[in-house]
Amino acid sequence: MTEKINRIVLAFSGGLDTSVILKWLQQTYGCEVVTFTADLGQGEELEPARAKAQLMGVKQEHIFIDDLREEFVKDYVFPMMRSNALYEGLYLLGTSIARPLIAKRQIEIAKQVGADAVSHGATGKGNDQVRFELSYYALEPGIKIIAPWREWTFKGREELLQFARDHQITIAKDKEGEAPFSVDANLLHSSSEGKVLEDPAKEAPSIVYQRTISPMEAPDKPTEIRIGFRKGDAVSIDGEALSPATLLAKLNKLGHDNGIGRLDLVENRFVGMKSRGVYETPGGTILLQAHRAIESITLDRGAGHLKDDLMPRYSELIYNGFWFAPEREMLQALIDKSQENVEGEVRLKLYKGNVIVTGRESPKSLYSSTLVTFEDDKGAYDQKDAEGFIKLNALRLRTLGQRRKKFEK
């Protein structure tokens, strides 16, 4: 017997899967469904989602379409960028970082409308189910979660299509039949996986790429830009102050035009399998290189190396869905402390898929030309001091060497 539910808040895109889920929830649980559609800069018109929800019987006051672009970049992307986060050394976590914000807003809506359950369209094979649900539970421990892909009997897309036809659910023409691959997008990136991408030995077809032109087709002349930073966050491009979302959107355009940010990756999912994905993160790729460049002159060696040591752990927490976990918040506090003096400007050349740092300057720079010069440093550094420094550091190595020589035959 299906558990009695009074009202459900569904993360609703208006696509095939969540449209079928909406009807299935209405039929299976016999209750009101509230739809929530987040504008995270995916580049799609979202009003059709409103029309579809209305057509399927959702009350006007129970249809939420929220523009979360600025909050997404300011409170999620930028804090993550301060850490230089890369999952498995390559992935800029574009999908992972969006899920906690969607979940947070869903829980807020559930409280607002008096819902006792939330629902999502993530499958039982992927990471997103974990990310959504860990966030739900962290924010509202007693919430009921409905994950249709783990409950219903549909075995594939064709059965979903037939259900949609049977219930007069509008299906976009390009969804009729087998889709060549699955796409997730937001202001930070686009992610493509499945179908034509399932064989990691085969090159991804050109149709997969939507956020960037091919590096081979990019202009033969480099694009030169300057990015300004304050407390570790990018705040300007070419001297113009910009909001977080506006800045990232502008970097995305620059990255797109210069073929920057493509990644073909086989990664280890949290649920245990390997998967192949093609990612495009044009603005984020530029931002990462620029941030590391400004850190190189403003961050102390010990602080910088500690950050680099912790970054894989921090990235894994985000990838696995632990954004609201205390250990992520603890690491964030350490990272944010390190960024207090990370300010200044970085000069870059964007050229055929490459982000080339050409200069960096800061009023809080730790770089000293007096110390590093090969010319007369006017007594700032006594080179004779290096002898004692080396001998002290070599003491244990010399002791080991003496023991080895003592027992050599």
Terminal CA-to-CA distance of the chain, rounded, Å?
79
**Catalytic residue positions?**
17, 99, 128, 182
pLDDT digits (tens, 9 = 90+) for 106-118: 999 999 999 999 9
pLDDT digits (tens, 9 = 90+) for 49-87: 999 999 999 999 999 999 999 999 999 999 999 999 999
Distances in Å between the alpha carbon of 295 and those of 118, 239, 311, 314?
A: 41, 19, 14, 18
- Report residue 27 as tokens: 């039929």
b/e code 200-209 from CB counts within 10 Å (16+ = b): eeeebeeebb
C-alpha closest to that of 350 among 194, 226, 173: 226
pLDDT at 235 over 60: yes
Lowest mean pLDDT among 164-168, 281-285, 373-377: 373-377
Helix axes 99-113, 128-139, angle to 10 degrees: 50
The pTM of this model reads 0.93
pLDDT at 19 over 80: yes
Lowest mean pLDDT among 94-98, 160-164, 320-324, 335-339: 160-164
pLDDT digits (tens, 9 = 90+) for 170-198: 876 554 445 567 889 999 999 999 889 99
Q: What pLDDT is attached to residue 227?
A: 98
Mean pLDDT of 284-309: 98
Mean pLDDT of 214-218: 97
Q: 2 pLDDT band (50/70/90 cuts)?
A: low
- Would you call 154 helix, strand, or coil by DSSP? coil
b/e code 370-394 from CB counts within 10 Å (16+ = b): eeeeeeeeeeeeeeeeeeeeeeeee
Q: What pLDDT is attached to residue 181?
A: 78
pLDDT at 223 over 70: yes
Q: What pLDDT is attached to residue 382?
A: 85
Q: What pLDDT is attached to residue 262?
A: 98
Q: What pLDDT is attached to residue 195?
A: 85
Mean pLDDT of 329-345: 98
pLDDT at 355 over 70: yes
Distances in Å between the alpha carbon of 305 and those of 206, 335, 369?
A: 39, 12, 22
Domains, the chain, with CATH or none: 7-71+95-179 (3.40.50.620), 184-299+341-361 (3.90.1260.10)
Q: What pLDDT is attached to residue 176?
A: 45
Mean pLDDT of 83-109: 98
In sign, the C-alpha dihedral spanning 58, 186, 210, 122 is negative
Q: 1 pLDDT band (50/70/90 cuts)?
A: very low
Q: Tell me the C-alpha distance between 91 and 108, whole Å.
A: 30
